[in-house]
Structure 1
Amino acid sequence: MALEPLSQKEIEDRLRELPGWAVTGDRLGRTFRLDGHFAAAALVLAIAAVQEELGHHADLTLGYDTVALAVNTHSAGGSVTAKDFALAERVRDLAPGLGAH
């Protein structure tokens, strides 16, 4: 089953459930701040595990105390799809438990 790009309205509706997340250009993303480098690295590993489980991978950028995530669906022409929001929702749910804000 091919994934279809979400409409602008669908994206806006879904973003209401994801405080702190935004679509910039053709990517859904967010930057998390943590208490230090090890905490940020732990978040990257937790996100990597979710990505493997879902078979859908974002670009992750690890900073000293930050983790930035940006994702779109290549098989949908680089558009934002429901698959991207599924990943974002999983990250939203796990990030606070690892100290991300």
Structure 2
Amino acid sequence: MSAIPLTPDQLAALPQQLPSWEILNGKLRRELRFADFVEAFGFMSQVALVAEALGHHPEWSNVWNRVVIELITHDTGCLSDLDLRLARRIDQLAAHRVA
């Protein structure tokens, strides 16, 4: 799937479209907390399936109940429509799981 870099207007709209995310060092970043490790890992498993289906994979880390996700499109070297799509899907999953 070919990625389309976000325009300056699209980048400016991100805080309104994705209020749970921040732009840090050119990447979309979100930190989530769960009840425990099992819930955090279960969430990561769900995201992994979505990411694989999109062919776009996050940079992320997990420590006990905390998951940190960073998105950037390495092929373009910037944020793209793929990052926006994956962030929206992550938000949908998180709405049902976040402690």
TM-score w.r.t. the length of structure 2 is 0.89
1:60-99 equivalences under 5 Å are 60-76=60-76, 78-98=77-97
Equivalent residue for 1:34?
Answer: 34
TM-score w.r.t. the length of structure 1 is 0.88
- Count of aligned pairs: 99
CA distance, structure 1, for counterparts of residue 34 and residue 81 of structure 2: 27
* Root mean square deviation of aligned Cα: 1.6
Equivalent residue for 1:6?
Answer: 6
Q: Secondary structure at the match of 2:3?
A: coil
CA distance, structure 2, for counterparts of residue 3 and residue 59 of structure 1: 17
Flag as ranges the 4+ runs of structure 1 deviating above 6 A. Answer: none
Equivalent residue for 1:44?
Answer: 44
Render the CA deviation track for 1:39-78: whole Å, top value 9, x for unaligned. 11111101101101101001121111111100111111x2
The share of aligned pairs that are identical, in percent, is 27
CA distance, structure 1, for counterparts of residue 33 and residue 17 of structure 2: 20
Query: Unmatched 5+ residue regions in structure 2?
Result: none
One-letter identity of the residue aligned with 2:21: W
